[in-house]
Amino acid sequence: MTTEALVQQIKLKKSFLCVGLDIDLDKIPQHLKKEADPIFTFAKDIIDATHKYAVAFKPNLAFFESYGVEGWVSFQKIMKYLNFNYPNHFTIADAKRGDIGNTAKRYAKAFFKTYEVDSVTVAPYMGKDAIEPFLSFEGKHTILLVLTSNEGAENFQYTLENNEFLFKKILKKSLTWEHSNRLMYVVGATKANALLEIRKIVPDSFLLVPGLGAQGGSLKEVSNFGMNDQCGLLVNSSRGIIYKSQGSDFAAAAATEASNIQQEMAYYLNDKGIV
């Protein structure tokens, strides 16, 4: 999915919502556990219920890997379901990979070719050798971890070097890599104040913003500080949507929560003059 197509979907749906698929079998409704593939069934029902309000879906790979082979099978089924039934939705493999050389190439091939996702999250610690193999895939996007919501983010991301925070150095350096136009960036919703500084460095790039809802991020602040003329945001909500109810009405409850977020997003898009 191209950036242009993503922007079109944002304008069409008046939404920049990304639904995170962090599927925990301990949290899904009890009746689904009798299914042959409860992970896929739960994901399918969530996708069907929320697709009208979302422009992206983000499976979190840790939640699939933890179930072994069965989890990987479920992930592949989910990707096939999304690509066949909802091809206008941007897909993100939240894998946070970060290695160099042939290993990075294999990671990239796995997600972009085998599982056919539009994008994958990667860690920048090992530098361009770990990122450029992902960027070599035309029509795909690489989402670089830059500034995250967790408490430990300050251990490294706010380290000063020559009076400049490390996360800013990463942003600037990434713009020198081959095919840097295929980059997007992760910025945690709880770091909304930093979005103004980030936008000075990458004014036109898309930002994936997790941390809405359960982690306490503010959609209003993220929109005010991070939105550009094309929106340029994908704001993710996972637990706040998919586990809104753990009863038989889980899909309807997820749809209601996604609709509420979409309506707020529509207000900010209209206020910015994007729709």
In the predicted structure, residue 214 carries a pLDDT above the cut 60: no
Phi and psi torsions of 183, nearest 5°: -90, 145
Q: Beta 164-165 vs 160-161: how paired, if at all?
A: antiparallel
> CA 53 to CA 14: how far, in whole Å?
8
* Residue type (1 letter), 240: G
Percent of the chain at pLDDT > 70 equals 99
User: What kind of fold does domain 3-272 have according to CATH?
Assistant: TIM Barrel (3.20.20)
pLDDT tens per residue, range 145-204: 999 988 888 899 999 989 999 999 999 999 999 999 999 999 988 777 889 999 999 999
| Band of residue 215 on the pLDDT scale cut at 50, 70, 90 | low
Whether the Cβ atoms of residue 23 and residue 242 lie closer than 8 Å to each other:
yes
Residues 6+ apart with CB under 8 A from 211: 149, 188, 189, 190, 217, 236
Residues 6+ apart with CB under 8 A from 80: 116
| Band of residue 241 on the pLDDT scale cut at 50, 70, 90 | very high
* Per-residue buried b or exposed e for 146-162, using 16+ beta carbons within 10 Å of the residue's own CB: bbbbeeebeeebeeeee
Residue 204: closest CA among 185, 228, 180: 228
What pLDDT, on a 0 to 100 scale, did the predictor assign at position 4?
A: 95
Structure tokens at 160: 């000063």
What pLDDT, on a 0 to 100 scale, did the predictor assign at position 193?
A: 82
What pLDDT, on a 0 to 100 scale, did the predictor assign at position 72?
A: 98
What pLDDT, on a 0 to 100 scale, did the predictor assign at position 220?
A: 93
113 counts as catalytic: no
pLDDT tens per residue, range 35-51: 999 999 999 999 999 99
Residue 37: closest CA among 7, 8, 80, 3: 80
pLDDT tens per residue, range 64-99: 999 999 999 999 999 999 999 999 999 999 999 999
Instruction: Please identify which of the residues 11, 77, 96, 109 carries the catalytic annotation.
Output: 96
Percent of the chain at pLDDT > 90 equals 90
> CA 136 to CA 178: how far, in whole Å?
8
Domain ranges of the chain: 3-272
Whole-number average pLDDT of the chain: 95
Place of tokens 């941007």: 90
What are the residue ranges of helices labelled H in 157-249?
166-174, 195-201, 219-226, 239-242
In the predicted structure, residue 213 carries a pLDDT above the cut 70: no
What pLDDT, on a 0 to 100 scale, did the predictor assign at position 217?
A: 72
What pLDDT, on a 0 to 100 scale, did the predictor assign at position 151?
A: 83
